[in-house]
A and B are shown apart, each in its own frame.
Chain A
Amino acid sequence: MTIRHHVSDALLTAYAAGSLPEAFSLVVATHLSLCDECRARAGALDAVGGSLMEETAPVALSEGSLASVMARLDRQIERPAPVRRADPRAPTPLADYVGGRLEDVRWRALGGGVRQAILPTGGEAIARLLWIPGGQAVPDHGHRGLELTLVLQGAFRDETDRFGAGDLEIADQELEHTPVAERGLDCICLAATDAPLRFNSFLPKLVQPFFRI
């Protein structure tokens, strides 16, 4: 997997600080699972957080807190084997939301063979899986806020570039784009938006509230 499009510094810092909405964190964590370069960048930012915490003035815990934590520790020496992905395309942070294989997710048709599944994240942003048949376009749309799109399988192109497996597109309200899946393998993406998308044609607008796009 050759990843060409990465998490921006601003997003990665917000992730390290724990201030992103859950849906965006999910996309970032999934990208970090696929991209060691960004995982290392995130680790450097975590180190800043660690240093700040180390410098924070300590606040004493109440008396007996150590004893009460000790009382609930498990004495077994546990080294559980790492969790294997149920679906090789879904790293564990994403697998926590989808369960088994991507094919078995409760997909809903959006028209033109495009399907989506909203994932159960908290907070104001929405995370969804998108399934776009090879050669098919996602309706031309702009955004009111930020949209992150991470490719899990296949590839798409839009006005800006080509995005293959592991690539992350970061689109803001400036970008009006029409992502088109490459011919061949269907394109599956994990996307997060912090505001409803604006579609530029009449029909998608009508179905918008229903599908929560």
Chain B
Amino acid sequence: MTDKSDGTDWVALMRAIRDHRDEAAFAKLFQHFAPKVKGFLMKSGSVASQAEECAQDVMATVWQKAHLFDPSRASVATWIFTIARNRRIDGLRKDRQPEPEDLVWGPDSEPDQADVYEMQQENDRLGRAIARLPEAQRALIERAFFGDLTHRELAAETGLPLGTIKSRIRLALDRLRQHMS
């Protein structure tokens, strides 16, 4: 449930934003994530001014769409990554990135706490596994996500434990579908 080093409970901050429009919670998220989004975008080829503008838009979207964040299906970092990916301003491309249909818990319902806990744990495990990857493998994955890998290269095995995280998300989706029907 916590970020690896400083122990901040990002999920709780997201709830505070969603339920109470908590500006202090938003400031904390902004201070941690906005520079990472900016760094990520610059690594993907954006110039500093574009990356800055985009990072600000991403953080405004975090506030605006807080009700769509489902901690039983993603960590806060992952959710913010998906927003950044979709808003990425790439000088050469004018494409949008269409997103799957939103699936949301109702206004008076929450995912199961145990599912949320497991999901956040699973994300921490994935983060550690990526950190432990041999340099060549890590470089391959980074190239995939920083945007210059061909489809053939993408087919290479990553060796990451993605099966468990996929199963967790699948379970969370099943529970959400049951709740929605």
Contact = CB atoms under 8 A, between A and B. Distances in A.
Interface of B: 3, 18-21, 23, 26-27, 30-31, 34-40, 42-43, 48, 51-52, 55-56, 59-60, 63-64, 67, 73-75, 77-82, 84-86, 88, 93-104, 107, 122-123, 126-127, 130-131, 141-142, 144-147, 149, 151-152, 154-155, 158, 160, 162-163, 165-167, 169-170, 173-174, 177
Nearest to A94: B98
A77 interface: yes
Contacts of B31: 66
Contacts of A74: 63-64
* Prevailing SS type, chain A contact patch: helix
A17 B95 contact: no
A11 B23 CA distance: 39
Contact of A53 (B3, B40, B122): B40
A22 B102 contact: no
12 contacts: A36-B173, A39-B169, A48-B145, A49-B78, A50-B123, A51-B126, A52-B40, A53-B77, A65-B34, A65-B56, A92-B102, A122-B93
Nearest to B97: A25
A40 B122 CA distance: 14
Given A52-B145, A69-B60, A13 B73 contact: no
B85 A17 contact: yes
Interface in A48-69: 48-62, 65-66, 68-69
